[in-house]
Amino acid sequence: MKMVDTSYLIEAVAVASVVTFSLRALPFLIKGAVLRQKVILAIKSSMPYGIVTILAIYAIVSTKITSWQIAAGEALAISATLVLHLLKRNVLLSIFGGTFLYVLAINVPIARI
């Protein structure tokens, strides 16, 4: 078996290093140009609402309503989330407020409220 020349190994490692570094640096170098594209700007502005809509529909459809209390809790949480978002325009407040009311409504019997 023939021994590989040391200079060949050094050159191979150097080429692999340059290629690896270039591929990792490329996204940062072209980031500005890509983010100014009209398609990317449109996706960036509409994607969060699309994702939240898909998650909300999935959560509503996948819920098994076994009692009127769960149905009322879900309706209350959806309504509260919608109202909070329309009034405050704060996504985190809407999500946390709706989640809090949902957990409260399904865990605390209505007779105790």
pTM of the model: 0.49
Bigger pLDDT: 72 vs 111: 72
Q: Which of 113, 59, 48, 110 is nearest to 85 (CA)?
A: 48
- Name the one residue in this structure whose structure tokens are 């021994």: 3
| Extents of the domains making up the chain | 1-36, 45-112
Q: Are 98 and 81 in contact (CB under 8 A)?
A: yes
pLDDT tens, 9-60? Answer: 999 999 999 999 999 999 898 888 887 888 888 887 878 777 878 877 887 7
Residue from 55, 54, 95, 61 nearest 78 by CA: 95
Query: At 111, is the pLDDT very low, low, confident or very high (cuts 50, 70, 90)?
Result: low
Read off the pLDDT of each residue in 51-80 and give the average, rounded to a whole number: 80
Predicted confidence band at 95 (pLDDT cuts at 50, 70, 90)? confident
